[in-house]
Amino acid sequence: MSSNKTKIFTLLICLVSLCSFSQEISFCDGNNDKLITLMKSNYKNLPMDGAKYVSIGNCKYIIGVGTTSTKSKTTSVMARISSVKARREVLLLLNNAFVTSEAILTTEQVITDNTSSYFEGFRDEVTEKSSAFVSGMPMLTAFKSSDGSTFIYILYKLI
């Protein structure tokens, strides 16, 4: 009889431990406000691409940040460009990157009636093959920099 009580007691301790572990994970996953506030304070005034590990209390995250210029782009285009850049940064942090990028600057001169005009174009092409871990990272937040010139897109994953 004592053996049965010991087994039941051990089973109860295991269940209580699993419940508290489960509650901690759901607390971290459902409490993103502190993380959003931290990311906005870090990147709003000085936006830059990057990835890092962040801890808030017992919650640990991996963060990817991608940026793009806001000039003459729709929100959808800005989100796609900066999302790819954020994923690239996470891949580089995890040493699992297969990303190619190419920056192309074109200059053109147009001469009409003894006047000449110059035009410049810049194109940044990024190709990405990402792993399932990075592809499954949801967006935490997206916002414009304090001067409005840069769109910032932040991905996160609870680790």
Which residues, 6 or more positions from 48, have their beta carbon under 8 angstroms from its beta carbon?
A: 65, 67
Global pTM exceeds 0.85: no
pLDDT value at position 20? 43
What does the block give as tokens for 118? Answer: 């110059």
In a domain, 22, yes or no: no
pLDDT value at position 22? 42
Res. 36: pLDDT tops 90: yes
Compute how many other C-beta atoms are within 10 angstroms of the C-beta atom of residue 126: 15
In a domain, 4, yes or no: no
Q: Of 47 and 31, which is predicted with more confidence? A: 47
Domain count within the chain: 1
The pLDDT confidence band at residue 42, using thresholds 50, 70 and 90, is very high
Residue 87 has, within 13 A of its CA and on its CB side, a CA count of 23
Helices (H) then strands (E): counts for the chain: 4, 6
pLDDT value at position 105? 76
What does the block give as tokens for 14? Answer: 């295991």
The three-class DSSP label of residue 131 is coil
- Domain residues for the domain of 137 are 31-158
In a domain, 7, yes or no: no
In a domain, 66, yes or no: yes
In a domain, 48, yes or no: yes
